[in-house]
Amino acid sequence: MGSSIFLQSNSLLESLIHLSNEVSSIEKLPSIQVRNVSTMLRRIKVLTSLFEEIQESNNPMLPPSSVLCLSELFSVIRRVKSTMEGCKNGSSLWGLIQTERLSNQFHVFVKEIARALDILPLSLLTVTVDIKEQIELLHRQAKRVELYVDPQEIQTRDVLLTLMASEKTMFDVETVKHVFNSVGLKTVLDYEEEMSKLEDEVHKQAGTGGLIVVSNINNLISLVSYAKSMVFNEKSEENDVRQVSGSVSKNTSVSFNVPDEFRCPISLDLMKDPVIVASGHTYDRSSIAQWINTGHYTCPKSGQRLIHMALIPNYALKSLLHQWCQENNIPLTECSSNAESEKKMCEKVVDHISATKVAIDSVKRTAEFVVGKLAMGSVDIQRQAAYELRLLAKTGMDNRRIIAEAGAIPFLVTLLSSNDPRTQENAVTALLNLSIFDNNKVLIMAAGAIKNIVDVLESGKTMEARENAAAAIFSLSMIDDFKVAIGAHSQAIPALVGLLREGTTTGKRDAAMALCNLALYNANKPKTVAAGAVPLLIELLMDDKAGITDDALGVLALLLSCPQGLEAIKKSRPLVPLLIDLLRFGSAKGKENSIMLLLGLCKDGGEEVARRLLINPRSIPSLQSLATDGSPKARRKAEALLRLLNRCCSQSHNPVGL
């Protein structure tokens, strides 16, 4: 969900103008998505003119719906900025392969701008006729805009995919140069930087992108490396290039035997400024800030949805880090100065703008007014009111508390049964946003919402409504007692499994996360197996487009502990080789769950699973590597599995090395 904050109108306008100017002043446009980026910049420049005129009017009290519109535009423009920076600073070749997804993302942004402008009361704002006409034109165009995918990029993407699938010795130099030139790769240094960006993308995709995605990126790295040696005669330049690439390398310092607890789970480097996120896990500030700033709203380690984006300093760990650095003669001045500069750079990620009493009173009046429309209005008015509450509930814990105190929850629960698709979607999304505040979880369950939420999950009018119902179940199931209550509903778990089968990438992830939460309660595990989750989860492990590798592994690891789950998992022939591959290419969490599954299968599956592991040439080296270099949990599990395999083959084979 978005993380924009409901502000006083002046503060909000200042933030909007500053953000819009930042986007408009991007100096070098990305070499991909050129048309979508340029048209988006034009739209934002028009909106900037509107923001500046509203600010110049010095109106002390804007209409509530205009503040909601501006808050939503702030959220959209922030995500536009993040996507543009991703196109500009990320891998150009990977962006080219993802051209359809990125084009769809820009299309979604335009539609969100149109929906925000739906509730902008232009007639009540003091703006010039010229600006009013420009905004009305922008609104009309945004409402009817169609998805644009650049045919030239599609053609170039297809040539690139052909190159990736070809034997390297069959490459045509001019074709390679044409493809790479089209995305701005012209010099040796460009090629080096592209490989570095692709390596960063591998780390980013581990655990979410699937094995095929990681394999494709590694294939791209190999292609760029080979193309560089083929296109350039760089023997005389090689030392210079190494020096330049070395200067931009992340690991410029001497390698130390850094304890695992001092390493950032994302970069695996020594943390300089450890911070705690909402899930309770600790990361280096620069790494987690980059993760959040690229549009991720889950904890990289646990996969848990982050209920807020605040980064809280871990002073205890920082003190231990400094002590360790002193003991190992690692200069603290460099560490501290880097941490300070990174901290300043990353503070942009989270807006720490506190709402004043005036702003809170404004939210309260707005909430009471909108809830009144929800209770007494016509179908059209209820649809609009539910949408306004949906937006208002996106913007901070105070807002969520105030909306609940205004009595919105029972009315929203009733609207879940609406026959109007937009009303139903707005109602379930508003409840999802409200449930992020823990006290509201209790109020939502007390209002009898679970039956209606499950009905929307099972047969909602739109796919977005179904997906947000799954996300609401995930949020509510964070409380242990509600895991029991939700699991007791006969259709809750089957409906989640249904969404796991039919949903979009986002919906499948929400469903998997909800199932993972529910499966923590033992009585829900047999129900999850009975609903057919196991073969579906294993199938999703092999689907690179699903992007829920870690979530699927987490559910399977939980189901392994019940007899029904064990039997269902044992029936899958492709699972063992798939888990072996995940030991090599998965995320840290994915590797832990893969070892846990293999260990459980060997213990309860007997010699057959152990034999399949032993005959796979990649299994023992992968386990030995994890036993040496994995996380503490992965090391323990890997050592236990190696001992078990050693016992299995000691009578007839040479023992496995530990």
pLDDT tens-digit profile of 549-559? 888 888 998 99
What phi and psi, each to the nearest 5 degrees, are found at residue 16? -65, -45
Q: How much is the pLDDT for 308? A: 63
Residues 80 and 144 in one domain: yes
Residue 633 CA to residue 282 CA, distance in Å, equals: 16
Q: Is the pLDDT of residue 264 over 80?
A: yes
Tens of pLDDT, residue by residue over 605-621, are: 567 777 787 887 888 88
Q: How much is the pLDDT for 242? A: 36
Type of residue numbered 240: D
Residue 52: inside a domain = yes
Q: Are 177 and 231 in contact (CB under 8 A)?
A: yes
Return the minimum-mean-pLDDT range out of 152-156, 469-473, 538-542: 538-542
Tens of pLDDT, residue by residue over 64-98, are: 888 888 888 988 999 999 998 888 888 888 888 88
Q: Which residue has the tokens 């979410």?
A: 208
What range defines the domain where residue 157 resides? 152-230
Collapsing DSSP to helix, strand or coil, 350 comes out as: coil
Q: Is the pLDDT of residue 337 over 70?
A: no
Residues 302 and 165 in one domain: no
Mean pLDDT of 123-138: 87
Tens of pLDDT, residue by residue over 267-284, are: 888 888 888 877 778 889
Residues 300 and 185 in one domain: no
Model confidence at 566, pLDDT cuts 50, 70, 90, reads confident
Residue 638 CA to residue 627 CA, distance in Å, equals: 5
Q: Which residue has the tokens 């090391």?
A: 635
Return the minimum-mean-pLDDT range out of 168-172, 475-479, 594-598: 168-172
Q: What is the CA radius of gyration of the chain?
A: 27
Residue 397: inside a domain = no
Residues 273 and 131 in one domain: no
The b-or-e profile of 520-534 (16+ CB within 10 A means b, else e) is ebeebbebbbebebb
Q: How much is the pLDDT for 419? A: 92
Residues 174 and 145 in one domain: no
Residues 58 and 142 in one domain: yes
Domain boundary among 86, 120, 149: 149
Q: How much is the pLDDT for 331? A: 66
Mean pLDDT of 637-647: 82
Tens of pLDDT, residue by residue over 347-403, are: 444 433 333 455 677 677 778 888 888 877 788 888 888 988 888 888 778 889 889
Dihedral angle sign, alpha carbons of residues 247, 265, 211, 296: negative
State the DSSP H helix or E strand holding residue 204, giving kind and residue range, or none if neither.
helix 188-205
20 closest CA partner among 43, 53, 2, 36: 43
Residue 467: inside a domain = no
Residues 98 and 190 in one domain: no
Residue 86: inside a domain = yes
Q: How much is the pLDDT for 60? A: 62
Q: How much is the pLDDT for 7? A: 43
Residues 139 and 168 in one domain: no
**At a CB cut-off of 8 Å and minimum separation 6, what does 155 contact?**
none
Residues 123 and 9 in one domain: yes
312 strand-pairing partners:
276
Q: 381 or 205, which is more confident?
A: 381
What Cα–Cα distance (Å) separates residue 224 from each residue in 178, 188, 504?
13, 10, 32
* CATH code of the domain containing 283: 3.30.40.10
623 closest CA partner among 642, 603, 602: 642
State the DSSP H helix or E strand holding residue 275, giving kind and residue range, or none if neither.
strand 274-276
Tens of pLDDT, residue by residue over 467-521, are: 999 999 999 999 988 999 999 999 999 999 999 999 888 889 899 999 999 999 9
Annotate 408-444 with three-state secondary structure: HHHHHHHHCCCCCHHHHHHHHHHHHHHHCCHHHHHHH
User: Hey, which of 92-101, 171-180, 186-195, 202-211 has the most confident mean pLDDT?
Assistant: 92-101
Q: 620 or 209, which is more confident?
A: 620
Q: 412 or 398, which is more confident?
A: 412
Residue 656: inside a domain = no
Residue 183: inside a domain = yes
Q: Is the pLDDT of residue 233 over 60?
A: no
Q: Are 102 and 32 in contact (CB under 8 A)?
A: yes
Q: Is the pLDDT of residue 58 over 60?
A: yes
Residue 544: inside a domain = no
Q: How much is the pLDDT for 251? A: 41
Residues 133 and 4 in one domain: yes
- Other Cβ atoms less than 10 A from the Cβ of 214: the count is 25
Collapsing DSSP to helix, strand or coil, 277 comes out as: coil
Mean per-residue pLDDT over the chain, rounded = 80
Tens of pLDDT, residue by residue over 14-23, are: 888 888 888 8
State what percent of residues in the chain have pLDDT above 70.
83
Residue 414 CA to residue 341 CA, distance in Å, equals: 50
Return the minimum-mean-pLDDT range out of 36-50, 122-136, 211-225: 211-225
Q: How much is the pLDDT for 364? A: 79
> What is the signed CA dihedral for 345, 396, 517, 303, rounded to 10 degrees?
-10
Q: How much is the pLDDT for 416? A: 94
Collapsing DSSP to helix, strand or coil, 194 comes out as: helix
Q: Domains in the chain: how many in total? A: 3
List, in sequence order, the alpha helices (H) in 232-273.
238-247
Residue 439: inside a domain = no
Model confidence at 255, pLDDT cuts 50, 70, 90, reads very low
Q: Is the pLDDT of residue 154 over 80?
A: yes
Q: 350 or 108, which is more confident?
A: 108
β 282-284/274-276 pair status: antiparallel
Burial classification of residue 49, based on how many CB atoms lie within 10 Å of its CB (0-12 exposed, 13-18 middle, 19 or more buried):
middle
Residues 88 and 37 in one domain: yes
Residues 106 and 21 in one domain: yes
Return the minimum-mean-pLDDT range out of 105-109, 273-277, 399-403, 650-654: 650-654
Model confidence at 8, pLDDT cuts 50, 70, 90, reads low
Q: How much is the pLDDT for 335? A: 46
Model confidence at 288, pLDDT cuts 50, 70, 90, reads confident
Domain boundary among 126, 149, 172: 149
Q: Is the pLDDT of residue 303 over 80?
A: no
